[in-house]
Each structure stands twice: as structure tokens, then as C-alpha cells.
Amino acid sequence: MTRRQNLGALLAAGAVTVLVVAGLSNASSSAAPVNTSEPKISGTAEVGQTLTATTGTWTSSSTVSYAYQWRRCNAQGAGCANIGGADNSSYLVRKADLGDTLRVRVTAKNADGSAQATSNETAVVKAAATPPPPTSNGCPSGSGPIDVATVSPPARLLIDGQTSSPSVVTRSTSDLTVRFHVSACGGRSVTGALVYTTAVPFEQFSIPAETPTGADGWATLTMHQDRSFPASPRQQILAVFARARKPGEPALGGISTRRLVSFRVHV
């Protein structure tokens, strides 16, 4: 059978008509994506904050890929211009955006073409919020004894207790042992505070070396009777100056504290 006879037979069978109809059908189903819901932006329009964009909703008969372009617009959302390098689904708001609004343009693309849709504008970009200053009271958290290293201004040390041995100082008292209790942060005992003491006026008793407080907050210091005791034949009290400080801080600075106390004298 000749080619012409074959074509005739095909025409007679309607095969060509079927092929044409099938071709028309494929052409009608091939189309670029169509947007049915615009992209949306979530997040706070504030310098330093991150905005995130959705793709929006699209119809397509084949796989779609998406590209993003963030745009800076005026306060009314008009006069937009592309932002260089801002081509991801998220965007970190910059100082250059202050006073403007932002939009995102999404391009949807499939094998048959591409289309674009743009979001509504954000609120006008505002400056980054200024964080409030820290409100630390200088005290460590928790309860119970605290290490002096964990205490800082505005907290202060406090000498809130003292004892002596013997309880009454006489001419025969060669050694006087004094104890001072140091606290901070609402009465919590402080360990490691350096305590200094001296009798007033000077040269009644010796000046011992600074002594750290123990875990119970107490420091024990021994003073030796000196040549000027008693200060007078009718002396009734021994005045003692005491100071507590944090190691490494000035004697009269930081969280240091001072107190003048007295002990009974009988001469």
C-alpha cells in the first residue's frame, strides 16, 4: 500500500482528527501560575526585627518555584524600589528602612511561564526599642550565707553584731578578743569580708591584721593591751572602730561599711 493509500486509510479511520484534538487539549492545560491570594508579611516593622513572607496562593498544573524581592516604599506604600540583596523569604529590617514601609514581591514560575504578586505594605518602620536598664540590686539570688565576691553596689555590707572576751575590760586584761558579724542583702551572713578594727583613741590596744569572715559571717580578732590603756582613771568604755570591706576594693569605697562600737571598762 502506498503512503497516499495509508493516509487515506488513516483519514477514513479518524486517527488524524484524534491527534489534533489531543494536541489542542495539551495546549489548553499548559499555563503560567495564576495568583489567587497575595503574599503576606508577618513580624514587627521595627529596626532589628525579622520579617517573614509567605508565597501567597497560586494555581498551576505543574511544579512551581518561588523567588522573593523585598521592596522599600514610602509611608503610604507607594514609590517602591527594590532592596539590593533582599531576595529571601525573610528580611532583617535595617536603619535605612526607618520611616518607610516594606513590601515583598513574589515571582511564581513553572515550566510554562511566570507571574508576580506583591504583598500589602507593612506598618511604617519604627526605631528599635531601647531596652530598660538592668535593675539588679547587687545581691545574688537565693537565701542563706553569701560570698562577698557575689555582692556588688548598690548593696552594702553591714556590721550587725559584736561581742568581746572578756565581756568587761580591766587593767589586767592583756588580750581582748573581739568578734564582728557581717551581713548584706537583708541580713544574709557574708563570708570572705575583710574586717579591720582599732581602739579609739589609739595606743590603748594593738591593731590586728584584717581578718576574713567565716562561713557564719563572723570574724575574730585579738587585740593586745598597749601602753595608753586606760585612757583615764575613770574610763568606763573602750571605743572600737570596725570596718568591713570586699577584697580588692578601696577601704572606704565599693560595698564597704564602718561602725563605731563600745565595750565596758572597769578600772
Q: Same structural domain for residues 118 and 150?
A: no
In a domain, 134, yes or no: no
Residue 131 CA to residue 134 CA, distance in Å, equals 9
Q: Hunting for cell 526585627 — which residue is that? A: 49
Q: What pLDDT, on a 0 to 100 scale, did the predictor assign at position 19?
A: 34
In a domain, 26, yes or no: no
User: Given 104, 129, 154, which residue is the final one in a domain?
Assistant: 129
Spatial CA neighbour of 108 closest among 68, 167, 66, 56: 66
pTM: 0.52
Cβ contacts of 13 within 8 Å, gap of 6 or more? none
Which range marks the domain in which residue 109 is found? 32-129
Residue 261 CA to residue 239 CA, distance in Å, equals 6
Mean pLDDT, 10 residues at a time, over the chain (267 residues)?
48 41 43 95 96 95 93 96 96 96 97 95 94 78 93 96 94 95 96 95 93 96 94 92 95 94 92
Q: What pLDDT, on a 0 to 100 scale, did the predictor assign at position 25?
A: 39
Cell readout for 101 is 514601609
Q: What pLDDT, on a 0 to 100 scale, did the predictor assign at position 109?
A: 95
In a domain, 22, yes or no: no
Q: Same structural domain for residues 122 and 159?
A: no
Q: What pLDDT, on a 0 to 100 scale, did the predictor assign at position 100?
A: 98
Q: Same structural domain for residues 199 and 96?
A: no
Q: Same structural domain for residues 162 and 117?
A: no
Question: Residue 108 — φ and ψ, nearest 5°?
Answer: -105, 135
Q: Same structural domain for residues 124 and 153?
A: no
In a domain, 2, yes or no: no
In a domain, 138, yes or no: no
Dihedral, 32, 73, 44, 40 alpha carbons, nearest 10: -20
Q: What pLDDT, on a 0 to 100 scale, did the predictor assign at position 134?
A: 61
Q: What pLDDT, on a 0 to 100 scale, did the predictor assign at position 133?
A: 67
Q: What pLDDT, on a 0 to 100 scale, did the predictor assign at position 267?
A: 86
Looking at the 3D structure of the chain, how many domains does it have? Answer: 2
Q: What pLDDT, on a 0 to 100 scale, did the predictor assign at position 6?
A: 52
Write the burial class of residue 79 (CB in 10 Å: 0-12 exposed, 13-18 middle, 19+ buried): exposed
Residue 103 CA to residue 81 CA, distance in Å, equals 10
Q: What pLDDT, on a 0 to 100 scale, did the predictor assign at position 236?
A: 93
Name beta bridge partners: 193: none
In a domain, 179, yes or no: yes
In a domain, 248, yes or no: yes
In a domain, 223, yes or no: yes
